[in-house]
Amino acid sequence: MQSFKNQDHPTPSFPLLILACALLACACNSQQQPQAPPPPEVVTVGVKVQQITLTSELPGRTSAYLTAEVRPQVSGIIEKRLFTEGALVTAGETLYQIDPAPFQAAYDSAEASLARAQANVPAVASRAKRFQELLSTKAVSQQDVDDVESALKQAEAEVKFWQAAKEAARINLGYTRITAPINGRIGKSNLTQGALVTANQPAPLATIQQLDPIYVDVPQSTADMFRLKRRMEQGALDQSGSGQNKVQLILDDGSSYPLEGNLQFRDVTVDPSTGTVTLRAVFPNPDNILLPGMFVRAVVQEGIHKQAILIPQQAVSRDPKGNPVSFIVDPESKVQQRTLMLDRAIGDQWLVLSGLAAGDRVIVEGVQKIRPGVTVRDTPFENSGELQTKPEISAPPAATSK
């Protein structure tokens, strides 16, 4: 009975048992000693110091170079309107004709009165001369001489009075021709033929505006003004360049105005409601592309930054407190975190004020795979071909980040 059981379940041989134990020991050793993973690969960009021109893009509004409101200087009825609305007019060109009849009559009356006064003077003067001769023979009294000399002076004064009256009548007669005070483009007429106008009325007959050249008024905050002043005092910004007064213009549809303007002056008064000062630029406008009241954006040069550091925007992230940070690879190929102070965005780059130095290798790709202190293998972005970041010399500023 026992020999039958042994034949159905044979006992394993000893060599097979040794082989199984060896395989089990190798498996345990492989689980206890895992192989170290390779260091993560990142793409870096080298930090360089370069010279750039900083600009500010500010909103502005156009205004006419010269503006003149046409008003009558005498009262009367408008007989004719002698211009085309919207046309160019020249200084001295007749715009309206007021009925001159009453003013012509006043001129003629003053002229006649002047002639009468002038005719009276010779007779009085001759009488005064004779009385002066008779005084030596006592034929007339001194009182008679004084009276006739007084009459002569009155006659001469009356001549001067009517001369002034004639001149006033001539001036008023000339005012019946309402002329353009300046060269420019005239707008619509507010009154028509047959309307009654009064001297120096508050409502203008029309408005003339000179549009070539044209002003662009740009508000600048006092905070920006103080920031620029501090940076100039620190030597970080140079405003001695020849193009510092040049201003470029961006129209409302996003297109660039083809002609360049000049910064004329900065106002000395701060607007209390907005905390801004006004910068005024002058632009040539030969084709009348710019019209008064248009909203535009002016690109104003701030100065030349000779020690600027620009890094790609994807190289900047935020820590839990919201501060901008970047990761660099040190000479030992280990990752370090740097807290940055940013000035503005220039194209697809950030202008860095502090936190980086020339020669630092900033990580732009692979940030998700790293942490401070980790050893990495970096590849310059020039060789990877994945980044095409180029510094822009002149670009509008974004909001300042710190």
Q: What would the pLDDT profile of 319-355 be if each residue is shown by its tens digit?
A: 889 899 999 999 888 999 999 988 888 888 898 988 8
Q: Which residues pair with 69 in a beta bridge?
A: 207
CA distances from 353 to 81, 238, 304 (A): 64, 16, 14
Sign of CA dihedral 57, 63, 64, 65: negative
Give the Cα separation of 62 and 251 in Å (integer): 11
User: According to the model, what pLDDT value does residue 402 have?
Assistant: 42
CATH for 72-99+177-203 is 2.40.50.100
Give the Cα separation of 258 and 89 in Å (integer): 26
User: According to the model, what pLDDT value does residue 393 have?
Assistant: 36
Tell me the longest C-alpha to C-alpha distance in the chain: 202
Chain mean position to CA 282: 10
> Is the per-residue pLDDT at 14 higher than 90?
no
When pLDDT is cut at 50, 70 and 90, the band that residue 239 belongs to is low
Q: Answer for the pair 188, 214: CB distance below 8 angstroms, yes or no.
A: no
When pLDDT is cut at 50, 70 and 90, the band that residue 21 belongs to is low
Sign of CA dihedral 268, 274, 279, 280: negative
Give the pLDDT confidence of 254-304 residue by residue, as tens digits.
899 999 998 888 888 888 888 888 889 999 999 989 999 999 999 888 778
> Is the per-residue pLDDT at 400 higher than 70?
no
Average pLDDT, the chain: 83
Sign of CA dihedral 256, 259, 262, 266: negative
> Is the per-residue pLDDT at 390 higher than 50?
no
Nearest to 221 by CA among 167, 276, 297: 276
User: According to the model, what pLDDT value does residue 264 have?
Assistant: 84
Single pTM value for the model: 0.67
When pLDDT is cut at 50, 70 and 90, the band that residue 369 belongs to is confident
User: According to the model, what pLDDT value does residue 32 have?
Assistant: 52
Give the pLDDT confidence of 45-56 residue by residue, as tens digits.
999 988 888 788
Mean pLDDT of 159-165: 94
User: According to the model, what pLDDT value does residue 13 have?
Assistant: 54
When pLDDT is cut at 50, 70 and 90, the band that residue 386 belongs to is very low
Q: How many CA atoms lie within 13 A of 52 on its CB side?
A: 25
User: According to the model, what pLDDT value does residue 296 have?
Assistant: 94
> Is the per-residue pLDDT at 398 higher than 50?
no
Which tokens hold the place of 27?
A: 């498996």
CATH for 41-52+307-384, options being 3.40.50.150, 3.40.309.10, 2.40.420.20, 1.10.150.20: 2.40.420.20
User: According to the model, what pLDDT value does residue 240 have?
Assistant: 65
Q: What distance, in Å, lies between the first and last C-alpha atoms of the chain?
A: 94
User: According to the model, what pLDDT value does residue 221 have?
Assistant: 86
Mean pLDDT of 96-112: 95
Give the Cα separation of 65 and 368 in Å (integer): 57
Q: Answer for the pair 50, 310: CB distance below 8 angstroms, yes or no.
A: yes
Mean pLDDT of 6-17: 51
SS (H, E, C) the chain: CHHHHHHHCCCCCHHHHHHHHHHHHHHHHHHHCCCCCCCCEEEEEECCEEEEEEEEEEEEEEEEEEEEEECCCCCEEEEEECCCCCCEECCCCEEEEECCHHHHHHHHHHHHHHHHHHHHHHHHHHHHHHHHHHHCCCCCCHHHHHHHHHHHHHHHHHHHHHHHHHHHHHHHHHHCEEECCCCEEECCCCCCCCCEECCCCCCCCEEEEEEEEEEEEEEEEHHHHHHHHHHHHCCCCECCCCCCCEEEEECCCCCECCCCEEEEEECCCCECCCCEEEEEEEECCCCCCCCCCCEEEEEEEEEEEEEEEEEEHHHCEECCCCCEEEEEECCCCEEEEEECEEEEEECCEEEEEECCCCCCEEEEECHHHCCCCCECEEEEHHHHCCCCCCCCCCCCCCCCCC
> Is the per-residue pLDDT at 399 higher than 50?
no
Nearest to 217 by CA among 297, 289, 301, 280: 280
CATH for 101-175, options being 1.20.1300, 1.10.10, 1.10.287, 1.10.1450: 1.10.287
Nearest to 390 by CA among 329, 358, 349: 349
User: According to the model, what pLDDT value does residue 84 have?
Assistant: 93
Q: Which residues pair with 310 in a beta bridge?
A: 351
For the chain, what are the domain ranges? 41-52+307-384, 55-64+210-305, 72-99+177-203, 101-175
- CATH superfamily of the domain spanning 55-64+210-305: Efflux pump adaptor protein, beta barrel domain (2.40.30.170)
Torsion, Cα 58 63 66 70, to 10 degrees, reads: -160
φ/ψ of 236, rounded to 5, equals -80, -10
Residue with tokens 């290798």: 361
When pLDDT is cut at 50, 70 and 90, the band that residue 2 belongs to is very low
Mean pLDDT of 372-396: 60
Nearest to 401 by CA among 341, 314, 354: 341
Higher pLDDT pick, 34 / 335 = 335
